[in-house]
Structure 1
Amino acid sequence: MSPVAVPAMHREVRLAHHVQGELTGGHFTVAEVPVPEPGPGQVLVRTRLMAVTAAMRTRMTGVRLPMPSFEPGRALWGAAVGEVVAAPGGGFAPGELVEHPYGWREFAAVEEARLRRLDPSALPSPAAHLSQGATAWGALRRAAEVRPGDTVFVTGAAGGVGSLAGQIARRLGAGRVVGSTGSAHKAARLRAELGYDDTVVRGAGPIAEQLRRAAPDGIDVVLDTVAGEQLAAALTVARADARFALVGALSTQLGGDGGASSVIGLDAGLIITRRVALRGFGLHAHPDLPAEWTKEFGQGLRDGSLVFPHAMLRGIEQAPRALCELTQGRHIGAVLVEI
């Protein structure tokens, strides 16, 4: 890469005030501030791409969470890919491609320990490094242990995790893959392009009844990104020794209350008599997974056996719009911003 000229000022996106109800552009401000000077053990990175995710909506509410929340008047953050501009400590070199956790700004001073060096040749495009496929891969392969012939149900199948989960389940040998989504249009794309045999559409009737029709012989594996009614419905059609991997709670992350939990009634009798395993899965506990997934993803993208559904908006000023559109269900797959 050619050297990057470092300006005196850059832009960052800040939370204007806590979110109650629908997320809008009024919840954000774009501020022009001095480019940070990297301190000891830090690297200055020019952000090229950033991702927005449903969890960001939850962190804007001011509700007490088991993870850091966004604060009004301060810049947001999230997964991003960038180019090293200055590395006073010598652990990185200018021009290297890296992943860092400080998206929502054009330049970031990042602690060396929080950078992940990326191989520019590992994936066909830098954007693919921001897929949520590592979560889907780890949840299905390690937490739920998909086996040949399994029937798999993925909730939130049109999202960043779900749009890859159907393809991954098929890759791991699943015999039937069912996904839930919010519209007939998305359902058609899931079946035509993303590895799903059948779909359940939110609002088209009771989820449990739709699921029984889509998986008449029951479900062996669930990858749940939604919680709420869909998790409870999946339990009613679970087969003996079914394995559930729980990775998200979109039913509240994108809901009006923005709460951090999804209160539902799970039938303990079903869990016990059918020996259902419920297991939470978080990528942070598996630091080796990103590299494992990158190798698998790169091979799949190059031979055409995997695709990366994503929407790309351009310009840091479009980042608020990107997150608003994600919460409105406007896109399939990952939602990224090119800066």
Structure 2
Amino acid sequence: MTVEEIRVASDRPARARRASGAAAAPRTSRMTTKRHRAFYMFTAPWLVGFVLLTAFPMGYALWLSFTNFDAVSPHWHFVGLENYREALSDPLTRQSLGRTLLFTLISVPMTMIGGLILAVLVNRPLRARGLFRTLLYLPAVVPPVGTALTFKLVFDTNAGAANGVLDAFGMNAVTWLADPYARYVILMSVLWALGNTMIISLAGLQDIPRELQEASRIDGASAWRSFRSITLPLLSPVLLFQGVTGVIGALQTFMPLLLAADSSPAGTTSVPQDNYMYMINVFAQYFAYGRFGYASALLWILFAVIIAFTALIFKATSGAVFYNVDPEAKK
């Protein structure tokens, strides 16, 4: 065999590999294109909804916050940062934001602790455990509007069930939806839906390996010590999630506050002082006073506050959250 024949024979496998690779490349490219197309088809509804219902309204509100637009007068113009300066210097804004922060600091821990207690109770091997879980979760299914109307009817001064019970015991009627009782009614309406936090905490409890708790009992640890040293650390990611979402939701609380107001934009001006919180002020500025630009600035200030609180929570809990990573998942 000549040198040229040896060279041709040695190059034949390489040519075959290059040919097979050239044939496989278009096939792989077509599969990748199909996967990309399927991905965008399945995510298109969410993307369209996000653009139309979230991104565009936020951008439009940001633009309005730099104007004195009131939806009535055609002579509106850009005012720059004037709306933000007025909002930050307005005592009503600071007072409503302070009440909202206080409400958040009270309601979020109460909701998290209450939901965790219920989750621990219904996680025990009890008879009819599924029925108890269903009954405790049902109030969370009721829409916020329905909950607000129900509490407003129950605590109505003239014909409410609460005053009916007081009257049956020979006690005087109470104006529940006025200061100082309105704040307690609002907290009750928020705690009414503990099923949301209960179901999330329950899922986290069921994800904790039973072997760890059994090992702690064998070592002589008490139930409280086992809960504090094993359950809470392993449940910390769930508690962090509940804390962040709870703070975000509490800072935007609106519907329960209408319990103490008329069901109209003008009725927001009659909300008791203790319940005149940030979103009530925003709603009043929008629809009672028609100050669309100023109200949009208030919303963007609230957005900045939410971002700051979220970052603060993540920073404060960076060393206290334990993520149980499966070592097999790293392989």
Using the size of structure 2 for normalisation, the TM-score is: 0.23
Q: Name the structure where strand makes up a greater proportion of residues.
A: 1
Q: Which has the higher helix share?
A: 2
Larger gyration radius, structure 1 or structure 2: 2
TM-score by length of 1: 0.22
